[in-house]
Structure 1
Amino acid sequence: MVDGVQRPLRADARRNREKILAAAVRVFATEGLDAHLERIAKEAGVGSATLYRNFPTREALVEAVYRNEVARLCEAAPALLAAKPPLEALRAWMRLFLDYVSAKYGMIDALRAIAATGSNPYGRSREMIQAALGTLMDACVAAGAIRTDVGPTDIGAALEGIALTSASPEQRHQAERLLDLTLDGLKSRP
Structure 2
Amino acid sequence: MSDGGTVGGGDGESGRAARPKRADARRNEETLLDAAAAIFVTAGVEAPVRDIAAKAGVGTGTIYRHFPTRADLIIAVYRHQVEACAEAGPALLASSPTPHAALGQWINLFVDFLVTKHGLAAVLQSDAAGFDTLHAYFLDRLVPVCGRLLEAAADAGEIRSDMDAIVLMRGVGNLCIGADADPRYDARRLVELLIAGLRRSA
- TM-score band by shorter chain is 0.7 to 0.9
* Structure 2 counterpart of 1:40, one-letter code: I
**2-structure distance, mates of 1:50, 1:96:** 27
Shift of 1:45: 1.6
**1-structure distance, mates of 2:179, 2:46:** 23
* 1:13-162 → structure 2 map (5 Å cutoff): 13-84=25-96, 85-113=98-126, 115-116=127-128, 118=130, 120-162=133-175
**1-structure distance, mates of 2:23, 2:182:** 34
Asked whether the 8 Å contact 1:62–1:111 carries over to 2, the reply is no
1:188 maps to which of 179, 187, 200: 200
* Structure 2 segments unaligned to the other structure (5+ residues): 9-17
For normalisation by structure 2, the TM-score amounts to 0.75
For normalisation by structure 1, the TM-score amounts to 0.79
Asked whether the 8 Å contact 1:101–1:167 carries over to 2, the reply is no
Structure number with larger C-alpha Rg: 2
CA spacing shift, 1:134–1:62, aligned 2, 3 Å: same
Shift of 1:146: 1.2
CA root-mean-square deviation: 2.9
**1-structure distance, mates of 2:116, 2:130:** 23
CA spacing shift, 1:171–1:21, aligned 2, 3 Å: farther
**1-structure distance, mates of 2:185, 2:31:** 26
Q: Which has the higher contact order (CA 8 A, sep 6+)?
A: 1
* Structure 1 segments unaligned to the other structure (5+ residues): none
**1-structure distance, mates of 2:118, 2:39:** 13
